[in-house]
Amino acid sequence: MFRNTVIIHADGTPRTQHVTTNIGVEVDEQAGTAVARSYVTVLQALADLPLQPVAAGRYRDRFARREGQWRFVERRVQIRMVGDVSRHLHQTANAR
């Protein structure tokens, strides 16, 4: 899904860093499930683009314990702020 929307640069990467902060985790031991909520800020830097935030929002992750090990189940992303994504995305993202 993301491969079709993200611009890949000469080094084979989108030249971004996703910084995740304020992580809160709620674990339901009996059900073997967990939910994590966090903020995300996407930074980008290129030779002709100084380091800057290009997007910010929230992650909501779900986990499940299977065969005694925690497994990642789902990530929902809600981008709330969008900066200059002209060198990050093929199409402009919609912020809400």
Answer yes or no: is 41 within a domain: yes
Q: Report d(CA 21, CA 39) in Å as an integer.
A: 5
**Looking at the domain assignment, is residue 50 inside a domain?**
yes
Task: Find the domain containing 73 and state its range.
Answer: 2-82
Query: So what's the pLDDT on residue 1?
Result: 52
pLDDT tier at 2, thresholds 50, 70, 90: low
Is residue 43 assigned to a domain? yes
Residue 32 lies inside a defined structural domain of this protein: yes
The model's pTM is 0.81
pLDDT digits (tens, 9 = 90+) for 16-58: 999 999 999 999 999 999 999 999 999 999 999 999 999 999 9
Tally of structural domains, the chain: 1
87 in a structural domain: no
Question: pLDDT tier at 5 (50, 70, 90 boundaries)?
Answer: confident
CATH number for the domain that contains residue 57 = 3.10.450.50
Is the confidence at residue 60, as pLDDT, over 60? Answer: yes
Q: Return the SS3 of 93.
A: coil
Q: Which two tokens stand for residue 26?
A: 């709620």
As given in the structure block, the two tokens for residue 94 are: 């919609």
